[in-house]
Amino acid sequence: MKVEIALLLLLLLAGLGCVQGETGAGTTETVAADKAREFNKIESRIAEKAIDGDTILLQNGERLRLIGLDAPEKGEDCWLEARDRLHELVAGKSLVLERDASERDKYGRLVRFVYANGQFVNLAMVEEGLAKAFAFEPDISKAAEFEKAEARASRGKGCIWKKPVE
């Protein structure tokens, strides 16, 4: 009996959705297309290693640039700390990758938001003071989150926010 009620409710809700969707904007087809586009923004890859504090080498040989941040370059203060922390967060792990507006940057790297073991890696690098927030058009959907994280981190003791000893 419970199964029949659940199926009936499911059919009723599906029917309401179809009737509601037939009115134009927000049609069932449009809603389905929007859901498909969102789904296509998510993919999974395995990380080989961190190249620096904002770039990952994937096991398939592709390079991936983290969206929303800028980490120190090789030879700059905190470069090693940023690279090592990113490596710790991603190396050998299965990553969930979320695309924003762009597929690749001008250097041919994938550009993505990265999640490892449920942690938002891009944001963690900024929160831990190992990178600065960096909004680069058109991939700015989470720019406000990164700016807030940087403001909090700049009051902390993350590597890039330490005051030089005089």
Kindly list the catalytic residues. Answer: 65, 73, 109
Q: Is the dihedral of CA 120, 121, 122, 128 positive or negative?
A: positive
- From residue 65, alpha-carbon distances to 14, 19, 42, 87, 134 in Å are 40, 43, 15, 13, 12
Q: Is the dihedral of CA 108, 114, 116, 122 positive or negative?
A: positive
Q: Which residues pair with 114 in a beta bridge?
A: 97
